[in-house]
Structure 1
Amino acid sequence: MNKKQRRTTTDDEQPTTNFTINQLTKMKYYLVAGEASGDLHGANLMKALKAEDPAAEFRYFGGDKMQAQGGKLVKHYAEMAFMGFTEVILNLATIFKNLKACKEDLIVYQPDALILIDFPGFNLKIADFAKENGIKVCYYISPKVWAWNQKRVLRIKRVVDRLFCILPFEVDFYASWGMKVDYVGNPLLDEIAAFKVNPNFRQMEELSNQPIIALLPGSRKQEIERLLPEMLSTVKNFPNHQFVIAAAPTFNDTYYDQFIGEKSVKLIFAKTYDLLSVAQVAIVASGTATLETALFRVPQVVVYKGGRISIAIARLLVKIKFISLVNLIMDKAVVAELIQEDCNTTKIVAELNQLIEGNKRNEMLRDYATLADKMGSEGASERTAKLIVNDL
């Protein structure tokens, strides 16, 4: 029986409820993720959707992790992620080309549900288009409209059928705009819960017994090139520590070597959780990694640098007290945020010295425990998948 052939029940006939979704119809899902974190969360959601709907078909903009779940990868996020206002302007031609390709593909595929994952600059435009063309729009991982231009909530109310939030404070924020949303928990909790500590990690990666300072410079070219040199400038100040870079799999050794030079720094690809499981402290690019680092209970310094014009515009528009997810969720300054001119060797070193041992380290670890309680339990992907399939 397909969607167009469903029949109604008579007054003396009760509908049957003991069926699975794949006995009714084959559902088609179209997902759009535009960066590494979206690829990770998209892959977990696809896995959960398959558990709820074994006959599910997938088509998507995403990455390697989503591709490993099956379906058809239309475009890789490596061709889509641009950071900052000026970077977006410089790459407008590529962005418009990608938007056009996504819209055309949606019309051809005609999915039962479009699932947009974060990446609001691109995805809200796709949501507009999908709504106009009668395609059900689900948004997983809310756009950060609470940070700036909050009136975008009105647009979301108009074009999004179901919004799934992963930060606790977002429920109250949307309620203040008269919008009901679902808090499903944070998908990072799923990923961390599934992670198995490798007791031989140090040996396998030829790491010494010195305490480790982990460097997490992000996965985007622009942020790596702005932040990694500042991170590496601190190496000389900690001769009794071992520095290890959590390298993004989209780049190679040669790319990172231009920043490392002759410094004694280890490079490890695609094993960020293994690295965090053995790190004493970390220097982390602002973004999802700050929350991951906190959930691994690693004291951290958060850093961020953008283009001058981008930062100037952001300071005019952004209306939040903090930039790191840790501080935003806790609504207080748990971790130091060194932004723009404050992101320098002297200040990073000063913060690290306080986190290696002492009161500030202990206080941060206590705050991390409270943060974990606020985040709740794992299962975000499963909860979201159930809600989407039930809607269909």
Structure 2
Amino acid sequence: MKYYLVAGEASGDLHGANLMKAIKAEDESASFRYYGGDKMQAEGGELRKHYAEMAFMGFTEVLLNLRTIFRNLKACKEDILVAHPDVLILIDFPGFNLKIAEFAKEQGIKVCYYISPKVWAWNQKRVLRIKRIVDKLFCILPFEVDFYKSWGMEVDYVGNPLLDEIAQFVPDLEFRNRYKLDKDIIALLPGSRKQEIERLLPDMLSVTAAFPGQQFVVAAAPSFEEAYYRQFIHSTNVTLVFGQTYQLLQVAKAAVVASGTATLETALFHVPQVVVYRGGAISVAIARMLVKIKFISLVNLIMDRKVVTELIQEDCNASQITAELKNLLEGEGRKKMLADYAELSGKMGSAGASERTAKLIINFLKGFKSNKSPNHI
């Protein structure tokens, strides 16, 4: 069967690659065409556009880049018509993907949505639109099932695909030696988008002088050159590591993490963390009016209580980051967070989300084809 996937961010590329691998195990004739990234490309098929050209963060940033977004939408729609896939698989990235879903539905193409849109955060009535344009919806957070059910929509909970990636991870025993890391490590995860990095990395690096006994290591995105990161670094106890976030988390004692998927990854590696976020002033003001959730980090959302400290906007500063890190390196703060992480791991369950989703998609397509058969009773 022919599969068309759309992933617009680094996390979507990761989950898309794992899903492609699982689909290939179930469908030997599978062919892929997609918007994604390097990880998906490594699984084969045809990459039509890289996510680095698509990801814009925040209300203001989206408005400033509307021309590019509309151009990308038009190109994607045209390419889907050319490909004429058996199924369109959309991965997160709702601002873009829900428009693509609506178009595909109009064209009679089956639509599966993997990693459901976070409509529970704001404007919950969007569920009604999703019910109309999405054929199968796959959730990766336990509480989403009850949320969608409250709107009369049946969904499939498949577990979290991060567990798949972590299960495949193999520690590099030479990682410390290779980068000459002979002190306790504080990992800095500033995100993979330019806007995130430029807003958060300076704040993260502003605390290095307060920790002369630690080594700071930046998890750098492979899509940027080393020189780009070096412009922010003015300390000798800072090391850059490209494309090896899990290796870094495996050896880190604590971390400062940009709000997003990385907060959950850090927790699943049992690394005590402080979560930071800084957006455009207008974007954040709008978000505070619209968003109806108590937390921004996945860790706190899943646990439905504060586990990790979230430093947002003006609270994201050297003084508060330093205080939180000191609390996490030793003592009761560290012990409590590690105990909470153990509980979180229990809630998350086991690996296998990609395999479960692949089987559900293929069975759905087989059932659809069977129902269309003239011999079907």
TM-score category (smaller protein): over 0.9
- Which position in structure 2 is the counterpart of 1:47? 21
Q: Shift in Å at residue 198 of structure 1?
A: 1.4
- Which position in structure 2 is the counterpart of 1:68? 42
Question: Which one of the candidate residues 175, 200, 204 is aligned to 1:201?
Answer: 175
- Which position in structure 1 is the counterpart of 2:152? 178
- Which position in structure 2 is the counterpart of 1:146? 120
- Which position in structure 1 is the counterpart of 2:105? 131
- What is the CA–CA distance in structure 2 between the aligned matches of 1:108 and 1:333, rounded to whole Å? 48
- Which position in structure 2 is the counterpart of 1:17? none
- Which position in structure 1 is the counterpart of 2:278? 305
2:374 paired with 1:379: no
The Cα offsets for residues 211-231 of structure 1, whole Å up to 9 and x where unpaired, read as 000000000000100000000
- Which position in structure 2 is the counterpart of 1:89? 63
Question: Which one of the candidate residues 214, 230, 234 is aligned to 2:207?
Answer: 234
- What is the CA–CA distance in structure 2 between the aligned matches of 1:238 and 1:81, rounded to whole Å? 34
2:197 paired with 1:224: yes
Which one is further off, 299-308 or 260-269? 260-269
Q: Shift in Å at residue 158 of structure 1?
A: 0.5
The Cα offsets for residues 315-339 of structure 1, whole Å up to 9 and x where unpaired, read as 0000000000000000000000000
Tell me which amino acid in the other structure corresponds to 1:256: Y
Q: Shift in Å at residue 133 of structure 1?
A: 0.7
Task: Give the TM-score of the pair, scaled to structure 1.
Answer: 0.92
Question: Which one of the candidate residues 350, 353, 359 is aligned to 2:326?
Answer: 353
- Which position in structure 1 is the counterpart of 2:83? 109
- Which position in structure 1 is the counterpart of 2:218? 245
Q: Structure 1, unaligned stretches of length 5 or more?
A: 1-26
Matched-pair contact (CA < 8 Å) for 2:249–2:269: yes
Aligned residues: 365
1:9-24 to 2 correspondence within 5 Å?
A: none
- Which position in structure 2 is the counterpart of 1:274? 247
Tell me which amino acid in the other structure corresponds to 1:265: V
- What is the CA–CA distance in structure 2 between the aligned matches of 1:104 and 1:266, rounded to whole Å? 44
2:342 paired with 1:391: no
- Which position in structure 1 is the counterpart of 2:342? 369
Poorly superposed stretches of 4+, deviation over 6 Å: none
SS in 1 for 2:231: helix
The Cα offsets for residues 122-177 of structure 1, whole Å up to 9 and x where unpaired, read as 00000000001100000000111010111100000000000000011100111111
SS in 2 for 1:388: helix
- What is the CA–CA distance in structure 2 between the aligned matches of 1:85 and 1:352, rounded to whole Å? 30
Tell me which amino acid in the other structure corresponds to 2:19: L
Matched-pair contact (CA < 8 Å) for 2:160–2:351: yes
Tell me which amino acid in the other structure corresponds to 1:227: L
- Which position in structure 2 is the counterpart of 1:56? 30
- What is the CA–CA distance in structure 2 between the aligned matches of 1:327 and 1:365, rounded to whole Å? 14
Matched-pair contact (CA < 8 Å) for 2:214–2:237: no
Q: Which has the larger radius of gyration?
A: 1
Matched-pair contact (CA < 8 Å) for 2:254–2:271: yes
- Which position in structure 2 is the counterpart of 1:288? 261
Question: Which one of the candidate residues 165, 183, 186 is aligned to 2:139?
Answer: 165
- What is the CA–CA distance in structure 2 between the aligned matches of 1:68 and 1:193, rounded to whole Å? 19
Question: Which one of the candidate residues 293, 304, 315 is aligned to 1:331?
Answer: 304
- What is the CA–CA distance in structure 2 between the aligned matches of 1:71 and 1:197, rounded to whole Å? 29
Tell me which amino acid in the other structure corresponds to 1:50: K
Q: Shift in Å at residue 261 of structure 1?
A: 2.7
Q: Shift in Å at residue 76 of structure 1?
A: 0.6
2:72 paired with 1:98: yes
Tell me which amino acid in the other structure corresponds to 1:81: A
- What is the CA–CA distance in structure 1 between the aligned matches of 2:96 and 2:338, rounded to whole Å? 37
SS in 2 for 1:123: helix
- Which position in structure 1 is the counterpart of 2:161? 187
Tell me which amino acid in the other structure corresponds to 1:260: I
Matched-pair contact (CA < 8 Å) for 2:6–2:90: yes
Q: Shift in Å at residue 262 of structure 1?
A: 4.2
Task: Give the TM-score of the pair, scaled to structure 2.
Answer: 0.96
Matched-pair contact (CA < 8 Å) for 2:104–2:110: yes
SS in 2 for 1:390: helix
- What is the CA–CA distance in structure 2 between the aligned matches of 1:273 and 1:83, rounded to whole Å? 24
SS in 2 for 1:337: strand
The Cα offsets for residues 82-122 of structure 1, whole Å up to 9 and x where unpaired, read as 00001101110000000000111111111100000000000
- What is the CA–CA distance in structure 1 between the aligned matches of 2:18 and 2:252, rounded to whole Å? 26
Tell me which amino acid in the other structure corresponds to 2:214: H
- Which position in structure 2 is the counterpart of 1:119? 93
Percentage of identical aligned residues = 76
